[in-house]
């Protein structure tokens, strides 16, 4: 009898061990985003060199539109509380017309090699930078860096040399990177999808295919804003190919009862919910630092997630003029985000603090990428494609990420996510750091801080070979 009991228990244990569910991955999204029907012929996989160009016709049209701009007088003492201060906007437009040199900035853009290749029916633009030198016996580590909205691949221009040639910039040369910065389809010089449904999983699938086409079967990925979600999805699609995931934004879309309870009681019982002192400082009082700020900063997202084509074609309540037809309207809309998402206190300044962290050449170069490519409409559609089914309803939102993850938490990010929340989604966090300063556009605003955090994260992953342990 005793032997039978042991046999039965053994059979049950073996059954559960054998039937244990394997780590679930996100399916690769095979799509066709080109015009019309997908052709029967195989897609051309050629990687073609590309250069940004500036034409006289383009510049003449721009200056004509800048000259014809109609401005509204700002309210007294309004600073950036009503959006961009229109007196400051006049100054920006004057600089744009009289001092900004687009041809010179095009040369800056072209200092790194640009390419295009056709993937799933659309042209994908990317910048591919190899290290100028490598220490003996060392190989470069491929790093995919993905931007967001209203940014572009240009956000990474200041951090690229820190990663591809760290020794020349006072950083450790233990790890040197080969950096690939693509433009999200519908952004910058990547072709916009011609069909509905192109979301973050679609973008992750396209970028995964891009990395494989470049010959990278093991690589790292880094992102913030939409880059956070695209790289997260990539980690869910190809966990055995992604050695590590580094994020400077880590949002949680599935909020459970414990999350809600921690919002109510976390200020008073932080240890109970795994909060650190800095978490409490950044999160509470939650009504002011959490809920009210999200409400104040998310109006644009609601419009872009519901009627993206309308806001850019016709007069908009944000800028007073159609964004796709007016460079001044486009600048007003984008610059306001670079102000308040960098530091919420900048809304109290007449100039929005824009030139405290950035310079006008960099800000206008980013805007010009949107203007000359005419991509503002398609960039906004990405919100609708990702949000129209509701938050928390997609498969990727319910899946965890097992890839080794590093998170750089910048203090002025629009919404703070404590590690205690993040680790419910990212179950293998090996590095979580509270950064001393900086906001949403970390790569452009604080390239040294971000580079240092990426380097130390990759150092941990490589030293402990964490990506190999993940596969066992």
Nearest to 228 by CA among 376, 380, 422: 422
Give the span between the Cα atoms of 36 and 255, in whole angstroms: 40
Burial class (CB in 10 A: 0-12, 13-18, 19+), 136: exposed
The SS3 assignment for 180 reads strand
| DSSP notation for 411-466 | TTSSS---HHHHHHHBTTEEEEEE-SS--S-HHHH-HHHHHHHHHHHHHHHHHHTH
82 belongs to the catalytic site = no
Residue carrying the six token digits 């695209």 = 230
8 Å CB contact between 286 and 263 = yes
Of 383, 396, 416, 426, the catalytic one is: 383
What's the angle, vertex CA 372, arms to CA 67 and CA 444, rounded to 5? 100
User: 177-182 and 429-434 as β-strands: parallel, antiparallel, unpaired?
Assistant: unpaired
Nearest to 339 by CA among 88, 136, 156: 88
Of 165, 187, 440, 453, the catalytic one is: 440
Which uninterrupted H or E stretch holds 142? strand 141-146
User: 122-129 and 177-182 as β-strands: parallel, antiparallel, unpaired?
Assistant: antiparallel
User: 242-247 and 219-223 as β-strands: parallel, antiparallel, unpaired?
Assistant: parallel
Of 225, 279, 362, 453, the catalytic one is: 225
383 belongs to the catalytic site = yes
225 belongs to the catalytic site = yes
First and final CA of the chain: distance in angstroms? Answer: 38
161 token code pair: 């040399």
Q: Which residues are annotated as catalytic?
A: 225, 383, 440
């Amino acid at each position: 009898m005793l032997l039978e009991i042991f046999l039965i228990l053994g059979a049950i244990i073996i059954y559960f061990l054998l039937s244990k569910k394997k780590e679930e991955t996100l399916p690769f999204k095979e799509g066709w985003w080109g015009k019309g029907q997908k052709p029967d012929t195989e897609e051309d996989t050629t990687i073609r060199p590309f250069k940004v160009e500036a034409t006289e016709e383009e510049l003449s049209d721009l200056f004509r539109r800048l000259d014809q701009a109609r401005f509204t007088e700002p309210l007294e003492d309004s600073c950036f509380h009503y959006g961009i201060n229109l007196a400051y906007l006049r100054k920006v437009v004057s600089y744009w017309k009289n001092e900004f040199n687009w041809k010179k900035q095009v040369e800056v853009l072209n200092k790194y090699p640009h390419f295009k290749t056709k993937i799933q029916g659309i042209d994908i633009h990317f910048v591919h930078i190899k290290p100028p030198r490598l220490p003996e016996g060392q190989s470069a580590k491929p790093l995919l860096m993905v931007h967001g909205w209203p940014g572009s691949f240009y956000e990474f221009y200041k951090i690229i040399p820190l990663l591809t040639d760290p020794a020349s910039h006072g950083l450790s040369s233990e790890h040197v990177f080969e950096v690939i910065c693509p433009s999200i389809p519908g952004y910058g010089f990547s072709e916009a999808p011609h069909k509905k449904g192109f979301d973050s999983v679609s973008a992750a699938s396209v970028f995964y295919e891009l990395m494989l086409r470049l010959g990278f079967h093991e690589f790292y990925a880094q992102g913030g804003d939409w880059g956070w979600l695209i790289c997260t999805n990539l980690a869910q699609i190809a966990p055995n190919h992604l050695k590590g995931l580094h994020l400077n934004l880590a949002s949680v879309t599935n909020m459970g009862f414990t999350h809600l309870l921690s919002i109510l009681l976390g200020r008073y019982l932080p240890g109970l919910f795994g909060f650190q002192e800095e978490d409490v400082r950044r999160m509470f009082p939650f009504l002011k630092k959490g809920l009210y700020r999200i409400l104040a900063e998310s109006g644009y997202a609601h419009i872009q997630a519901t009627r993206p084509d309308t806001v850019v074609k016709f007069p908009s309540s944000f800028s007073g003029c159609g964004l796709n037809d007016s460079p001044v309207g486009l600048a007003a809309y984008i610059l306001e985000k670079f102000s308040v998402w960098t530091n919420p206190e900048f809304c109290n300044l007449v100039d929005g603090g824009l030139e405290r962290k950035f310079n006008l050449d960099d800000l206008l170069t980013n805007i010009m990428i949107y203007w000359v490519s005419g991509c503002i409409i398609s960039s906004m559609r990405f919100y609708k494609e990702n949000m129209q089914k509701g938050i928390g309803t997609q498969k990727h939102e319910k899946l965890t990420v097992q890839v080794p993850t590093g998170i750089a938490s910048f203090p002025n990010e629009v919404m703070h996510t404590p590690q205690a929340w993040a680790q419910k989604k990212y179950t293998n966090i090996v590095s979580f750091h509270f950064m001393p300063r900086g906001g949403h556009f970390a790569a452009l605003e604080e390239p040294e801080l971000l580079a240092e955090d990426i380097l130390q994260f990759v150092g941990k992953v490589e030293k402990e070979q964490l990506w190999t342990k993940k596969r066992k």
